[in-house]
Structure 1
Amino acid sequence: MLLYLFAAFAICAAKKEAHFKNLLKTNNLTRVEVSRVPVVLWHGMGDSCCNPLSMGSVKKLIEERLPGVYVKSLMLGGNVATDMEHGFIGNMNDLVLEACAKIRLDPQLQGGYHAMGFSQGGLFVRALAERCPDPPVKNLVSIGGPHQGIYGFPYCIGPTAICDSVRHLLEYGAYTAFVQNHVVQAQYWHDPLNNEEYKSRNIFLSDLNNEKVVNPEYKANMLKLKQFLLVIFSRDEMVVPRESTWFGFYKPGDLHTILPMNQTSLYLEDRIGLRKLHESGRLHFLEVDGNHLQIPRDTLVKEVIDKYLA
């Protein structure tokens, strides 16, 4: 059944490549030569640090738009193949520690950096901001990141039998010790009908959102951010519910009601500093008309790169 999980996620991720090809087109927008804050990128599920049709093109676009900027696209493991594997298989607590170490050892990042993550990478760059304050994240950009988790299998193109098997695994086995420690997506699986089990047995997201024992350092580190941008896609079929990308989620025990961010306990209790960031004008929202990660090139440049990475 685990093999079905990995196979199905790989099929889903293949849709991204065609869109990212558009980012390879020459950028003819005005460029400004200034001293730059470096940028760290974290890719999404099924992708890798260096695919020239996806993250490689994003890296190139940022470098063209911001001449002289240092861009580090995170690679976890010893090679690109292992990096892609870690998008499906691994313990996210260990992988975040590895990413923190790579950043801390990079001499070009010692003064701090802007971080941008795509899809699940948007959630993981928030983990960097919360858990790895040295060097600090300055601006944080999440493009389609599932910050309140998912409850529903990501958009599945594979055969019905595979998709049904994967859904069964996540719905009935997501919180088993083996699945939690080995399946990345299970580590942000958030079952609103079994909220207490989620809080007690989820090994990653429930900790990151301060739903187990409140770690005041997480909130303090988030409040060091200068700007935090959340990008949602109006027709997102990958993140379920799509409102998770803006910190909204199902009302506990109710699959028919989705609470917006400012009605969730995470916001009202201000467990990770969202409310204070919002009230101080540092939390920003951008809605893009399209499916998951279908962000137009000009929107990425003008609304994201120019405003939050420059």
Structure 2
Amino acid sequence: MKTPQIVRESPVLLLLLLLSGVHIDGYRPVIIVHGIFDGPKQFKTMSQFITKVHPGTKVEVIDLYDNLASLKPLWRQVRGFRKAFDSIAQKAPDGVHLLCFSQGGLICRALLYGIPHHNVHTFVSLSSPQAGQYGDTDYLKWVFPDSAKKTVFRICYNRLGQKVSICDYWNDPHHRSRYLKSNNFLPLLNGEIPHKEMKAWRENFLRIKKLVLIGGPDDGVITPWQSSRFGSYDSNEKGVEMRNQEFYKNDTFGLKTLVARGDVEECVHSGVKHVQWHSNFTVFTTCIEKWLT
């Protein structure tokens, strides 16, 4: 974005703006990562929201693993999205924002872990199962038509199942030991299994300036819906909120540190279905807009 006319004509005002830290050269680019069964076309409305309130913003919806390809294993997707992310972020000296929907929120977290000097300012996690998924939804029935939530672990917690993306974050509270042993994605992200990359991942994740967690009780897909705020079920299917999670208490990937820094924002909206989060203007104006500067 060009410097405003009044600034060009007033060197004193320009100096004051620079000293106050105000950005006069436009907004940071926004990189969007879609969710399962999605693609760029689902984010046309969100892109329009962003450019309407922040004119001149460069919005990039990464066109990878769209639709059925979104079922590919998540570590493979992370590698692909990493390459696309790098090509965009390297051209943004002032940093970028990440806006990641549903399954995409997990991809983005893994992506951030693996980039030592990333320049992500704000990470917006939009209705993403950050603490995993466990529940019967239309999506689940579409992927596993002959299985109920109580039997999905038999499919997911083996080598073949881990080649399907949803299995990479299937968190069955009744089969905790099998989850920890057989799931090669989410337990690593959450630091529930010790590994040699934990320290580096934590340091990389803590480079972000703000984490925005968005979700709501009427989502209908993310189960429990509190997973969008790092909540999950216990073995009695009672909710365990973020601050009572072991990965939070142990600060395995930096979440507790972010909270202590005051850099975690939680935004809850009722009445919003899963497929509506990225096209609801109220959600955008109340939960997202102010963080994309």
Regarding TM over 0.5, the answer is yes
Q: What is the Cα deviation at residue 234 of structure 1?
A: 1.8
The SS at the match of 2:214 is: strand
Partner of 1:13: none
Tell me by how many angstroms 1:55 deviates. 1.0
- Look up the equivalent residue of 1:60 and give its one-letter code: Q
Partner of 2:28: 37
Q: Distance in 2 between matches of 1:133 and 1:41?
A: 20
> Which letter does structure 2 place at the counterpart of 1:185?
I
Gaps of 5+ in 1: 1-31, 77-81
CA distance in 2, matches of 1:128, 1:72: 16
Deviation per CA, 1:184-227: give whole Å up to 9, x if none.
10111011122122112112111111122241112112211111
> Does structure 1 conserve the Cα–Cα contact (< 8 Å) formed by 2:118 and 2:207?
no
2:203 aligned with 1:212: no
Q: Residues 170 and 282 from structure 1, CA distance in 2 versus in 1: closer, same or farther, beyond 3 angstroms?
A: same
SS at match of 2:50: helix
Say whether 1:138 aligns with 2:115. Answer: no
Per the alignment, residue 244 of structure 2 pairs with 263
The aligned residue for residue 101 of structure 2 is 118
Q: What is the number of equivalent residue pairs in this alignment? A: 266
Superposed CA deviations along residues 228-286 of structure 1, whole A, max 9, x for unmatched, are 010111212201111111101112xx233211110110110111111111111101100
For structure 2, the 5+ residue unaligned runs are 1-22
Q: Find the aligned partners of 1:84 and 1:33 in 2 and give their Cα distance.
A: 38
Name the SS of the counterpart of 1:238 in structure 2: coil
* Match status 1:61 vs 2:42: no
Once the two structures are overlaid, the 10-residue window that deviates more, 167-176 or 57-66, is 167-176
Contact 1:129 1:136 (C-alpha < 8 Å) held by counterparts: no
Name the counterpart of 2:84. 102
Give me the whole-angstrom Cα distance separating, in 2, the residues matched to 1:158 and 1:270: 35
TM-score (norm 2): 0.83
Cα 1:225–1:157 change in 2 (3 A) is closer
Cα distance change, pair 156–97 in 1 and its aligned pair in 2 (3 A):
closer
Given the superposition, is the C-alpha separation of residues 250 and 165 from structure 1 closer, same or farther in structure 2, using an over 3 Å criterion? closer
Do the aligned partners of residues 218 and 158 (structure 1) sit closer, same or farther apart at CA in structure 2, a change above 3 Å counting? Answer: closer
Deviations 1:60-106 (A, max 9, x none): 22122211111111122xxxxx5222212x12112101111112123
Q: Tell me: CA distance 1:213–1:157, structure 2 relative to 1, closer, same or farther (3 Å).
A: closer
Match of 2:37 in 1: 46
- The one-character-per-residue Cα deviations of 1:37-66 (angstroms, maximum 9, x if unpaired) are 1111011111112x1xx2122122212221
Instruction: From 265, 271, 276, give the equivalent of 1:294.
Output: 276
Render the CA deviation track for 1:108-165: whole Å, top value 9, x for unaligned: 3455311011111122222222222443221010111001111123335979xx7443
* Partner of residue 11, structure 1: none
Change beyond 3 A, Cα 1:158–1:244: closer
- What TM-score results when the alignment is normalised by the length of structure 1? 0.78
Contact 1:96/1:128, CA 8 A, preserved across alignment? yes
For 2:161 and 2:56, the matched residues in 1 are separated by 43
Distance 1:127 1:163, change over 3 A: same
Q: Relative to structure 1, is the Cα distance of residues 157 and 176 closer, same or farther in structure 2, using a 3 angstrom cutoff?
A: closer
CA pair 172-83 structure 1, distance change in 2 beyond 3 A: same
Contact 1:143 1:293 in 2 (8 A): no
Partner of 1:304: 287
Q: Percentage identity across aligned positions? A: 27
